[in-house]
Structure 1
C-alpha cells in the first residue's frame, strides 16, 4: 500500500478534477449535452496527471453526470448527460468545512444518519436501490485503485441516503462526502492487505443492500453499524473502545 502522504496526494489530484467539473456544472459553465475538455487539456490546465483525470471522470460517470466514449468524432470523449442535484454549491462549501471535523465526530454522525437510512429504507414499500446496485457492480472491478474504490464506496452510502427520501439526511451525507473519503483513504494506507479489505467491504455492502431489499430492518441497521465501525477500527483510525 502507498504511504499516507502519497495516498493523500493521489486523492487531492483527482479530487481537484472532480471539484472543477462539479463547480462548472453548478455555475452553469457546463450543462447537459456539453463536452468536457480533453484529458490532455484538463491535465495541463489543472496541473495533475492524466491518470488522475481518468479517475475523476470515471467517478463522475458512475454518479450519472457524464458519459464517456472512446474514439473520435462527435460522440467521443466525455459528455455531460445530467446536472447535479440542487444545492450542490452549498454542499461543496460544507465539504470544505467538514474536512476539519474530528474523525470521532464524523464516525458518530455516520452511525446516527446511516443507521436511520438503512432502517427506513428496509421498512419502506417504495424503496429503490437501483443506483446502489449499479455502484456495487462498479466496485466489483478488482483493478480499481484504493482512491477510486473508496470514492465509489462513499457514493454508495450517499445513494442509499438519497434513496431514503429524506432530503435533510441526504444533504448532510453529501456535505460530509469529502471528509468521509479523506479519512477512509488515509486509513487505507495503513491496511497491509488492501485486496482482502476491498473484498470484505464488497461483501459487507452486498449484505447490507440485500437486507434492505429484503425488508429486514434490524439486520440492515446492525450491518451498516458494524460495517462503518469495522473499517475505521481495522484502519487504525479509531480505537476499538472509542465508539
Structure 2
C-alpha cells in the first residue's frame, strides 16, 4: 500500500502579503464601528509605525481600501484618508462580475431570478404601503403607454415596475440582487427578444402578467403574486434555455 507521501501532494502556497493584513484590520475596524464614517485614519507615517510596515505596503493597502469604497483620500489633506459610509456599490459590482462570468449559465441565472422575484412579490404583497402600491400602479400605466413606443421603451418601463416591487420588500439585498440578475439575463437575450416575429405580442403578454401581479399585491395575496412571477419568468425565458436544462426550472413552478 502506498505511503502518505506517495498518495498526497500539496501545491506550494504563496505567503500572505502584508498589505492584505493591513486591509483586513482596517476593514474590521470600519465594519465593527471602531472607525465611523467621516472619521480619518491616522497619517501614512503613523500607520507605518502602528503596522510596523513600509510606506509601499501602507500605500497599497490604502489603494485597495479606496478602490473598495471604504476610504477616500484628498490631495493635500494632512488628516489622512476619510472613512466612507458602507454602501452597496461594492456588492453590486462584485455580483455583476459573478453573474456575467461564463461559469454561470443562463439556466442558473433564470432559476435564481425565479426564486428571487417570487420571494420579492410575496413580500411586497404583504408589506407594501399604500404609497408603494400607488407607485406600482403608476409604473404599470407607463408600461401600458410604452406599448406604442417600441421594445426599448417598454423594457425600461418594465424594469421600473420591478424596481418598485423590490423596493416594497424593504430588503436592500433583494433590490441589489434582483437588479443585477435581471440586467444580466435581459442583456443575454435582448437581441433575440427585440427581433422576435411578434414583439408586440410579447409586450402585451408581459403587460397582462404585470397587471395580474399588481392585482395580487393589491389583494395582499403573496402566494399568488409569487406563483405569477415564477410562471411568467418560465414562460418568457424557457425557450432560450437549452432544452435539456429546462427541467431544472420546473420544480419552482410546483412550489
What TM-score, normalized to structure 2? 0.54
Distance in 2 between the 1:151 and 1:180 partners?
14
* Equivalent position to 2:138, from 127, 134, 140: 134
Which string of whole-angstrom CA distances, capped at 9 and with x for unpartnered residues, describes residues 97-128 of structure 1? Answer: 42333211111111111111111122236462
Pair 1:205 & 2:210 matched = yes
Distance in 1 between the 2:128 and 2:164 partners?
17
Distance in 1 between the 2:189 and 2:210 partners?
15
In structure 2, the residue matched to 1:105 is 108
Which string of whole-angstrom CA distances, capped at 9 and with x for unpartnered residues, describes residues 16-73 of structure 1? Answer: xxxxxxxxxxxxxxxxxxxxxxxxxxxxxxxxxxxxxxxxxxxxxxxxxxxxxxxxxx
Distance in 2 between the 1:215 and 1:133 partners?
15
In structure 1, the residue matched to 2:162 is 157
Taking structure 1 as reference, are residues 166 and 219 closer, same or farther at Cα in structure 2, changes over 3 Å only?
same
- 1:89 deviates by 6.2
In structure 1, the residue matched to 2:35 is none
- Secondary structure of residue in 2 paired with 1:176: helix
Q: Give the 4+ runs in structure 1 shifted more than 4 A.
A: none
How many residues align structurally? 157
In structure 1, the residue matched to 2:234 is 229
Confirm or deny: 8 A CA contact 2:128 2:168 kept in the other structure. Answer: no
RMSD: 2.4
Confirm or deny: 8 A CA contact 2:113 2:182 kept in the other structure. Answer: no
Distance in 1 between the 2:189 and 2:154 partners?
11
Distance in 2 between the 1:186 and 1:144 partners?
17
Distance in 1 between the 2:194 and 2:122 partners?
32
What TM-score, normalized to structure 1? 0.57
Alignment of 1:25-174 (within 5 A): 87-88=88-89, 90-92=91-93, 94-100=95-101, 101-124=104-127, 126=129, 128-140=132-144, 141-174=146-179
- 1:129 deviates by 2.5
> Between Structure 1 and Structure 2, whose CA radius of gyration is higher?
2
Distance in 2 between the 1:96 and 1:241 partners?
27
- Between 1 and 2, higher relative CO (CA 8 Å, sep ≥ 6) is seen in 1
- 1:94 deviates by 3.5
Which string of whole-angstrom CA distances, capped at 9 and with x for unpartnered residues, describes residues 137-190 of structure 1? Answer: 111122222233223223322321121101111121122242032134134146
Counting helix residues as a fraction of each chain, which structure ranks higher?
Answer: 2
Confirm or deny: 8 A CA contact 1:111 1:228 kept in the other structure. Answer: yes
Which string of whole-angstrom CA distances, capped at 9 and with x for unpartnered residues, describes residues 80-100 of structure 1? Answer: xxxxxx634652553354233
- Secondary structure of residue in 1 paired with 2:247: coil
Distance in 1 between the 2:89 and 2:186 partners?
17
Confirm or deny: 8 A CA contact 2:125 2:218 kept in the other structure. Answer: yes
In structure 2, the residue matched to 1:74 is none
Alignment of 1:169-184 (within 5 A): 169-184=174-189
Taking structure 1 as reference, are residues 98 and 147 closer, same or farther at Cα in structure 2, changes over 3 Å only?
farther
